[in-house]
Amino acid sequence: MEITHYLGLAAILFAIGAATVLLRRNAIVVFMGVELMLNATNLAFVTFARIHGDVTGQVLAFFVMVVAAAEVVVGLAIIITIFRSRRSASVDDVNLLHS
């Protein structure tokens, strides 16, 4: 098994995540798409670290995980607040700033 196949997997995961973000309306699902994209990136980072024999990529992967964890906390809090006020978790309903 070639190491570059991990890059292909990362690209496929990223594409699935991006498609989820762009196509789905439910905020929770969109959020999951974002998480999928982040993890696809992490996979790419780790793969490149392996290819180049440099740990910088692995370090970055840890950073991404930490930031993602924080982001999930904030993001879920926002989604729940919106759901409470608007009784909907659809991203298309969140357009108050658009006149």
Partner 1 sequence: MDTQTTMQTLSLAPWLVATPMIGALVLLVAGRRTDRWGHWLGVLASAATFVVGLVMLLDMLGTPADQRVGTHTVGTWIDAGALHVDLGFQVDPLSMTFVMLVTFVGTLIHVYSVAYMDHDVDRRRFFGYLNLFVAAMLLLVLADSYLLLFVGWEGVGLASFLLIGFWDGKRENAVAGKKAFVMNRVGDMGLIVAMMLLLATFGSLSFGTVLPAAGEGATAAGQGVMTAIGLMLLLAACGKSAQLPLQAWLGDAMAGPTPVSALIHAATMVTAGVYLLVRSGPILEAAPDAQLVVTIVGALTLLFGAVVGTAKDDIKKALAASTMSQIGYMMLAAGLGPIGYAFAIFHLLTHGFFKAGLFLGAGSVMHAMGDDVNMRRFGGLARLLPVTAITMGLGWLAILGVPPFSGFWSKDKIIEAAFVGEGWRPWVFGLAALLGAGITAYYMSRLFFMTFAGRRRWRPDEGSGDDGAPVRHPHEAPRLMTWPMIILAAGSVFLGGILALGDRFVTWLEPVTGHAEHHEPVLPVWLLMTLTLVLVVLGAFLAFRQYAVAAVPVEPPPALAVVRAARVDLYQDAVNESLVMRPGQYLTRALVYSDRTAVDGGWLGLAGGIGRLGARLRRMQNGYVRSYAATMLGGLGVVGLVVWVLAS
The binding site for partner 1 (CB under 8 A) comprises 18, 21-23, 25, 30, 91-92, 94-95, 97-98
**Shortest Å, Cβ 94 to partner 1:** 7
3-state helix/strand/coil string of 1-62: CCCHHHHHHHHHHHHHHHHHHHHCCEHHHHHHHHHHHHHHHHHHHHHHHHHHCCCHHHHHHH
Residue 50 beta carbon to partner 1: minimum distance, rounded to whole angstroms: 22
Rounded Cα gap, residues 51 and 22, in angstroms: 32
What distance in Å separates the CA atoms of residue 60 and residue 12, rounded to the nearest whole number? 21
For residue 95, the minimal CB distance to partner 1 (Å) is 3
Is the CB of 12 or the CB of 23 nearer to partner 1? 23
Given the complex with partner 1, which of 10 and 30 has the nearer CB atom? Answer: 30
Which residue's CB is nearer to partner 1, number 25 or number 86? Answer: 25
Question: For residue 80, how far is the Cα from the chain centroid?
Answer: 18
- Nearest approach, Cβ of residue 74 and partner 1 (Å): 16
CB nearer partner 1, residue 37 or residue 43 = 37
